[in-house]
Structures are given as C-alpha cells and as structure tokens.
Amino acid sequence: MNIADLRKSYEKAELNENASHADPLKQFEQWLQEAIASEVPEPNAMTVATVGSDMRPSTRVVLIKGYDERGIVWYTNYESQKGRELAGNPFAALQFHWVELERVVRIEGRVEKVSDAESDAYFHSRPLDSRIGAWASPQSQVIDSRTVLVTNAAKYAAQFMLKPPRPPHWGGYRLVPDEWQFWQGRKSRLHDRLRYTQTGEQWLRERLAP
C-alpha cells in the first residue's frame, strides 16, 4: 500500500452560514454534544499546541475539562513542557478532530491559569489514583525507569493516604479564544470551513476556502 494513495471521500454532513450559530461557543457546544452522542472515541480529546522560547512548536493531546463564555479549560502539571512554554509565551492553539463525523474544530487565543478554587475543586473530584499520580510524575522530566513512578506513587500514597492535597505545581489552564475555525469534510475536497474572529464584543463569521 502506497501511503500517498490513501484517500477518503467526505460525505456525512455540511456546514453553512445559515445553519451555523452566530456565536462560535454555541456552535462548538453543538458539535461536541453531537460527538458525545455519536459515541466517537474520546470526544473530549484535544491537541494543544504551544511555542517555546526557541520558537519551535510542540503538540500533545489532553482532555477538555470545561468550557463556557470565559474559555476552554484543561488541567496539567505547570512544570511540564507545555507549562514552561505557556509561562514564556501565553498563547496556544487547540484542535478537536472527530474523525467519524468528519469534523475539525480549531481554537486559538491567550492562555491563563484558572483560579486556585477551580483547580482545587477539580483536583478533589478526581479518582484517588489520579490525585496520587499528580504527585508521583515529574512530567516531562527524564527518569531512569518506570520504577521511579511506581516508587513515587507508593511514597505519596503512604504519605497522604486517602486525602492527597493538590500539588502546588498542578492546576488548570483556560484558553480565552479570539479565533475559532469549524471544518466539515465535503465531497471532492470542497470542504466547508467557517472562521470566527473577535471584533470587539461581536464575532465575525467568514467562509474560508478549504
């Protein structure tokens, strides 16, 4: 099989100005809920792209944990690579790809930390093993072997028992969107692509060539 010959015809749906929401957050909510209802694998998974001080971009997949008119929220280790990069350049891009629905959503904007109260509330809602894991993993750092993680997990489990506090290096980020793009696959590569850009308190909706 020649990888260059792999092709798919996109014919499941369409996206047009008349049928889409004027507010991109409402359009995103509709598509996310449809992805959940369709039982696509991990509909809450999104790629986060950041840029380091060396101007090299990097990506990773995380899980969205909340969204509202303030922005898109996820949680992670602040000392991870993405945390360090966001500290130096507080802008990022997100991407959801719901393959089965032939849809992509791209979101760009400034990133800020959520409040301590929000981070605390989410942290304490997590399973115990996940809370211990936040202490056990020095995310993005070089370790000798998996034994380091297992040993750390056992140490913090014994130390905190059933009530591990939120680590000071762990918490939430919120991306405040200033641009959204919604892509719906269409036949003959004539895809539908709508962009929303913020102009004051309003959103400008435009169609882009695919």
- Which positions are catalytic? 189
- The tokens for 158 are 């014994």
Question: CA 100, CA 112: separation in Å to the nearest integer?
Answer: 32
Parallel/antiparallel/unpaired status of strands 192-199 and 202-207? antiparallel
Q: Smallest Cα–Cα separation from 133: which of 178, 101, 85, 166?
A: 166
36 Cβ neighbours under 8 A, 6+ residues apart:
43, 44
**Burial class of residue 46, CB neighbours in 10 A (0-12, 13-18, 19+):** buried
